[in-house]
A and B are shown apart, each in its own frame.
Chain A
Amino acid sequence: EVQLQQSGPELRRPGSSVKLSCKASGYSITDYLMHWVKHRPEHGLEWIGWIDPEDGETKYAQKFQSKATLTADTSSNTAYMQLSSLTSEDTATYFCASGPNWFAYWGQGTLVTVSS
């Protein structure tokens, strides 16, 4: 069974950073691009970017270019996203998504709360 297991909720101060993880099981993360998506109920879903775990190539939406950094560790079959210079606007649930047909597989989401 394919699963994407994401790390637990995070509480951070403004100006700090956070690193989220997404561990795949049931398939190799090198089989597909790994994407990250931001969800705020009042703003809907936003695509952040993707990483090709095979070679580390990345692509970001322009608005996340200096906010998010995507990496992957093929030895542990895990993808990561670091968010920097956190503000209240970064308070959201973040999903990793992958698989065939554009996002057949989703993680359960990680809630990041930015508050002083």
Chain B
Amino acid sequence: DIQMTQSPSLLSASVGDRVTINCKASQNINKYLNWYQQKLGEAPKLLIYNTNNLQTGIPSRFSGSGSGTDYTLTISSLQPEDFGTYFCFQHNSWPLTFGSGTKLEIK
């Protein structure tokens, strides 16, 4: 199984900050990497698909990059509503696997 290691596990940042979350796969996942945001008690929300494609309706302050085994989610200017837990997810090979999550807190 492909292991997805996210860092940091906890992130505290201020409104307006540039925030980056990293995800490292245990093997090449060919850019088949998505990012989701989940708030407490809610379903995950798709933000980015296939590394750098913004899902419809998601603000442009969210962006993704990466290749091979290393991927990054960037929030260019953090907003109060961006708190929550962020997960990466690989759909390159079975079984599909998620990262362990990054909890983003707003200072």
Residues of A within 8 A of B (CB): 35, 44-47, 59, 61-62, 95, 97, 101-104, 106-109
Number of interface residues of B (CB under 8 A): 22
Q: For A59, list chain B residues within 8 Å (CB).
A: 94
Q: How far is the CB of A15 from chain B (nearest CB, A)?
A: 26
| Interface residue SS majority, chain B | loop
Known interface pairs A45-B87, A108-B43; A101-B95 also in contact (CB < 8 Å): no
CA distance A47 to B95 in the complex (A): 7
Q: For B44, list chain A residues within 8 Å (CB).
A: 45, 95, 97, 103, 106
B49 at interface (Cβ–Cβ under 8 A)? yes
Can you list 13 A-B pairs, Cβ within 8 angstroms, ordered by A? Answer: A44-B87, A44-B99, A45-B44, A45-B89, A45-B101, A47-B95, A47-B96, A97-B43, A102-B34, A102-B89, A103-B34, A104-B55, A106-B43
